[in-house]
Structure 1
Amino acid sequence: MNGDQGAAGNGVPASGRLQQLFEGRRLTPTQRRIAHCMVRRAADAPFLSSVELAELAGVSQPSVTRFAVALGFDGYPALRRHLREVPATAPAPGEGEAAPPNAYQQAVRAEIDNLRHLAELLADPEPVERAGRLLASSPTLPVLGLRAASAQARGFAYFAAKVHPDVRLLDESGSMLSDRLEAAARAGANVLLCFALPRHPRELADALEQARGAGLRVITVADSAFAPVAGPDDLLLPAAVGTGLAFDTACAPMLLGRVLLEAMCDGLPDAQARLEEFDARAAARGLFLD
């Protein structure tokens, strides 16, 4: 059976119909693994038992059931019945037409859409400019990011340290995080920059409550304006993540972090001088190959 044809020989490719079914869903990594397996075995998917699909995807059979429920079905039999019964609504690609995008291409295109949406939000630069001024004004700048968001926080902190006199990366949880938040507040911090990406750790919410209790203004780069860790008085800047692969992609949050860096530099009168000093030291030490 051809993997690009629908189970009943209808016009739209089965893989495309599956991708439409999964698109925009908030799935766990295990559930995305099942989704990718179904796309790869699109022609067979409507005829696989839950046990067979679990074996192909390398997951447990209950995970397949939970996957079907996450898609809005009563269980896996209802999902399989849907795949057998849904008719095609678009013609198959004709001679010389481009093939439908595969799962990897769709993930890239979804990220491009996220970046376009971010560009539209930045048509009003006032929230980012206000955040940049707040970041620049804080004598000590703690940057928080746990688990999936730690890479975004680390990237921001790395560059921010070149222009800001006291940047403190907070990317570990537990009692040490609480200690370091207290130390930042005692050192004069009045702002906390937080990167909050799904899945949002419970300990992140606890850390933000501590920061607010210490009088820090929280600026959050989050995947949504409705992120569960956001407080009513926070300055929240949304940037969507991509959900088309087994693990979220965060191109838009990363770019928004760089935009915030630019806005912060605009509020630091000696930012350019600090960058030039760093370049001179780097050249003297031979830090870089180019």
Structure 2
Amino acid sequence: MNDDGKDLIKTIQRSYPRLSKGQKLIAEFITKNYDKAAFMTASKLGSKVGVSESTVVRFANALGYDGYPKLQRELQELIKTKLTTVQRLEMSKDYTNEGAALKKVLKADMDNIRATIEEIDYEVFQKVINCIFNAKRIYIIGLRSSTALAEYLGFYLNLILDNVRVVTSGVSDVFEQLLRVGKDDLVIGISFPRYSSTTLDALLYTKEQGALVVGITDSQVSPIASIADYTLTARSNMASFVDSLVAPLSLINALVVAVGMREKDEISSTFNKLESIWEKHHIYNNKNKP
């Protein structure tokens, strides 16, 4: 089966003539309401169109998927880049009250972390750690909602290493900040749906300059994955107008810890010095300190 969710609707259209009557009802509903179908269970989808759950499973098989969850995953990939914020807001109607929103969002975040654990490529993770230590300079770029992730990664890597720079969308243009990037440098690009075109353009530029590119994104079919030399994925599925960045942040935490453990003796000295500075200048509230 194809890996690109954008081809799913075409697949359904090509398969339509040979589908059963019940399967055609499912096909018609998904084609018109893929944004809603993406977050329906097989049972709920069957109930919505008036067919059995087993008919929904057979429909997925007829399209070439090994079960309904695989079809549902590709539907979710499809909506990531197609839905506007307004459309995603419409999808939030299931959050009928504050209690429902709390439970659904926390459960979705838990599911994203579980999926990330199952799908992470540990060999690639190790290679990325090696790239961090081998780089002359490290540039980190993440714009829009990924800005928080880029700043967080930059903050902690800067405490461990002395060659890290976070590329921002502030006064200085993104490309001006990347002006001196070269073949000995590492660029870490962070991008989650809806993907920032500026981030992608910046990574293409750094690639042209010979820099090594690491992508942190949501899937191997993300546009950033086609640019990156190494791609680390973390799930960010959320049936709402906000992005779920819990799994991506957890992945970044793992990166920082792995880097820190390799430099354990060095950072121990660094943090001892920092603790003295923080205490001297009252950076943290120590009123309850014994």
Give the TM-score normalised by structure 1.
Answer: 0.65
Q: Deviations over 1:45-81 (max 9, x none)?
A: xxxxxxxxxxxxxxxxxxxxxxxxxxxxxxxxxxxxx
**After alignment, is 167-176 or 104-113 more displaced?**
167-176
Structure 1 pair 148–103 and aligned structure 2 pair: CA distance change class (3 A):
same
Matches within 5 A, 1:255-270: 255-268=250-263, 270=266
Residues 140 and 165 in structure 2, CA contact (< 8 A), matched pair in contact too: yes
Across the aligned residues of Structure 1 and Structure 2, the Cα RMSD in angstroms comes to: 3.0
Which whole-Å CA distance do the structure 2 matches of 1:129 and 1:283 have between them?
35
> 266, 276, 280: which is aligned to 2:276?
280
1:129 Cα offset (Å): 2.0
Q: Deviations over 1:220-240 (max 9, x none)?
A: 110111111223552000001
> 81, 84, 90: which is aligned to 1:34?
90
Corresponding position of 2:24: none
Structure 1 pair 255–264 and aligned structure 2 pair: CA distance change class (3 A):
same
Which whole-Å CA distance do the structure 2 matches of 1:206 and 1:18 have between them?
30
**After alignment, is 163-172 or 267-276 more displaced?**
267-276
Which whole-Å CA distance do the structure 2 matches of 1:215 and 1:248 have between them?
32
Residues 95 and 104 in structure 2, CA contact (< 8 A), matched pair in contact too: no
Secondary structure of the 2:190 match is: strand
Structure 1 pair 177–250 and aligned structure 2 pair: CA distance change class (3 A):
same
Q: Deviations over 1:10-56 (max 9, x none)?
A: xxxxxxx9962798453432112222347649xxxxxxxxxxxxxxx
Residues 218 and 234 in structure 1, CA contact (< 8 A), matched pair in contact too: yes
Residues 193 and 220 in structure 1, CA contact (< 8 A), matched pair in contact too: yes
1:271 Cα offset (Å): 2.8
Identity of aligned residues (%): 19
Give the TM-score normalised by structure 2.
Answer: 0.65
> 102, 106, 126: which is aligned to 1:129?
126
Task: Supply the AA of the counterpart residue of 1:172.
Answer: S
Structure 1 pair 232–161 and aligned structure 2 pair: CA distance change class (3 A):
closer
Matches within 5 A, 1:57-68: none
Instruction: Report 1 or 2 for greater relative contact order, CA contacts < 8 Å, sequence distance ≥ 6.
Output: 1
Structure 1 pair 267–210 and aligned structure 2 pair: CA distance change class (3 A):
farther
Corresponding position of 2:5: none
Task: Supply the AA of the counterpart residue of 1:117.
Answer: A
Structure 1 pair 201–19 and aligned structure 2 pair: CA distance change class (3 A):
closer
Which whole-Å CA distance do the structure 1 matches of 2:127 and 2:104 have between them?
35
Task: Supply the AA of the counterpart residue of 1:145.
Answer: G
Matches within 5 A, 1:82-161: 102-122=100-120, 125-161=122-158
Which whole-Å CA distance do the structure 2 matches of 1:224 and 1:284 have between them?
45
Residues 213 and 227 in structure 2, CA contact (< 8 A), matched pair in contact too: no
Structure 1 pair 286–233 and aligned structure 2 pair: CA distance change class (3 A):
closer
Which whole-Å CA distance do the structure 1 matches of 2:118 and 2:39 have between them?
26
Which whole-Å CA distance do the structure 1 matches of 2:218 and 2:207 have between them?
21
Structure 1 pair 217–104 and aligned structure 2 pair: CA distance change class (3 A):
same
Task: Supply the AA of the counterpart residue of 2:280.
Answer: A
Corresponding position of 1:81: none
Are 1:163 and 2:160 counterparts?
yes
Q: Deviations over 1:166-221 (max 9, x none)?
A: 221112179721111123x26x8511111111111222121001111111111111
Are 1:234 and 2:229 counterparts?
yes
Which whole-Å CA distance do the structure 2 matches of 1:274 and 1:254 have between them?
24
Which whole-Å CA distance do the structure 1 matches of 2:237 and 2:272 have between them?
36
Corresponding position of 1:216: 211
1:242 Cα offset (Å): 2.9
Aligned length: 213
Residues 142 and 169 in structure 1, CA contact (< 8 A), matched pair in contact too: yes
Task: Supply the AA of the counterpart residue of 1:121.
Answer: E
Computing the radius of gyration over CA atoms, which structure comes out larger, 1 or 2?
Answer: 1
Secondary structure of the 2:222 match is: coil
Structure 1 pair 139–278 and aligned structure 2 pair: CA distance change class (3 A):
farther
Structure 1 pair 232–33 and aligned structure 2 pair: CA distance change class (3 A):
closer
